[in-house]
Structure 1
Amino acid sequence: MSMDADFDAEAWATELEEYRAEKDEFFAEHRQSPIPADDREDFEGLTYYDPDPSLRVAARVEPADGEDTIELEMTQGEPQPYERAAKLVFELDGGEHELYGYEQVQPEEGHDHAADDTTTLFVPFRDGTTGDTTYGAGRYMEFEVEGDLADADELPLDFNLAYHPFCVYNEAFACPLAPPENTLDVRIEAGERLARSLGSD
């Protein structure tokens, strides 16, 4: 796997820890926190795997194959349409893997694609930790790609930024489920994890 030559692991780890601290503050105090208001006083922070720079990999950006759109099942309510925006191909644990990056299908009315100068790729996925030390419906990543996605060759895919959907903390939220096509056959021990494994007493 290749990594950008100017990658500074120490600065990256510091930035990651700062991001996690800010997120804990949001969950504990913000009115839009998914933590129910009555539970915020006892909230002690999210649980994470230790930062692991080896799980920040270079992903090759390829055109998505198959149908243009996919219906993602939700934790509640009707499935929602997402566009397969790109296929991300990367090496991990000696093998080649792929994940799709999606964009939520927007109503044509009032949405000006020409005004967009970045693409936000939504990457829901399952892996070997799913249903064990991480949420059974999968975790998410999001990445912003500047400029035209068709011109992008490679981007850093950082599993340390993997996070749980809000519905883990509050059943009032409706969250997309990671689709079968975004299932990895390896354990991704990075990013958010459950406070205890589902198999523990």
Structure 2
Amino acid sequence: MKNLIFITALLLLFTSCATKTVNQLSPIEKYQSELVEFYSNPKTSPLNEEEKSIFKGITFFPIDEKYKVEAEFTPIDDGNVIPFPTSAGKTKYYKKYGLARFFIDGKEQVLTLYQSSPVVEEYLDHLFLPFTDDTNGNTTYGGGRYIDLSIKDIINNNGKVIIDFNQAYNPYCAYSKRYNCPIPPGNNSLDIEINAGVTYQK
């Protein structure tokens, strides 16, 4: 049944995108279409030939606006630099940048946004939101998912930040053992199901 849901959602995405021009796609549809293309294109795919042979493709939950939330953003001044264990048994470092508070189904949730430390020049505007939820290991990747955000998004949105879980994606480690992916910290574990964004087929 789950496989049927995944296949149906994927077919709906492709059918919808195929009948629209790029300019007609919603931001969510455009993002998801580009992610599928990224993995499908031999020139951009992060997978090697062996991994491609067992790759089951990128699939999504049906797009649901409920999971696009406007969060109250609270900056963390001089945030601590936190060591993140990775899937490769190594360590990466991220600085706490701020807190995002929002509601889903009337229940308050809080997530911490991070910035890489030290900050790489080409990613000065980039914020990292790793999280886990109650779908992990079931309909989504057991190691959690990521969302990319921008500091400009907060500045241009009067101190609030839009978090669109429909744009949640899996780390490369979901499909390959060759990568070194940060594991979401315990404080970013949501006690609800986020039925949005990328799913996972074992």
Deviation of the 1:163 alpha carbon: 0.4
Structure 1 residues 168 and 44: CA distance shift in structure 2, 3 A: closer
Letter in structure 1 aligned against 2:143: A
- Name the Cα RMSD after superposition: 2.8
Match status 1:52 vs 2:64: yes
TM-score by length of 2: 0.77
Letter in structure 1 aligned against 2:133: D
Structure 1 residues 139 and 27: CA distance shift in structure 2, 3 A: same
Match status 1:123 vs 2:129: yes
Match status 1:140 vs 2:146: yes
Q: How far apart, CA to CA, are the structure 2 residues paired with 1:140 and 1:185? A: 16
Structure 1 residues 14 and 146: CA distance shift in structure 2, 3 A: closer
Which residue of the other structure, out of 71, 76, 83, is the alignment partner of 2:83? 71
Q: How far apart, CA to CA, are the structure 2 residues paired with 1:54 and 1:168? A: 26
Which residue of the other structure, out of 95, 98, 101, is the alignment partner of 2:113? 101
Deviation of the 1:82 alpha carbon: 0.5
Q: How far apart, CA to CA, are the structure 2 residues paired with 1:175 and 1:152? A: 32
User: Does the aligned pair in 1 maintain the 2:167–2:197 contact within 8 Å?
Assistant: yes
Q: How far apart, CA to CA, are the structure 1 residues paired with 2:179 and 2:105? A: 35
Q: How does 1:1-201 map to 2 (within 5 A)?
A: 14-40=26-52, 45-64=57-76, 68-106=80-118, 119-146=125-152, 153-195=159-201
Structure 1 residues 19 and 135: CA distance shift in structure 2, 3 A: same
Structure 1 residues 147 and 124: CA distance shift in structure 2, 3 A: closer
Deviation of the 1:17 alpha carbon: 2.1
- What's the secondary structure of 2:36's corresponding residue? helix
User: Does the aligned pair in 2 maintain the 1:71–1:79 contact within 8 Å?
Assistant: yes
Gaps of 5+ in 1: 1-10, 197-201
Residue correspondences, number: 179
Q: How far apart, CA to CA, are the structure 2 residues paired with 1:56 and 1:159? A: 6
- What's the secondary structure of 1:90's corresponding residue? strand
Structure 1 residues 42 and 76: CA distance shift in structure 2, 3 A: closer
User: Does the aligned pair in 2 maintain the 1:34–1:169 contact within 8 Å?
Assistant: no
- What's the secondary structure of 1:146's corresponding residue? helix
TM-score by length of 1: 0.78
Deviation of the 1:80 alpha carbon: 1.3
User: Does the aligned pair in 2 maintain the 1:61–1:87 contact within 8 Å?
Assistant: yes
Letter in structure 2 aligned against 1:101: L
Identity of aligned residues (%): 31
Structure 1 residues 89 and 148: CA distance shift in structure 2, 3 A: closer
Deviation of the 1:195 alpha carbon: 2.5
Letter in structure 2 aligned against 1:188: I
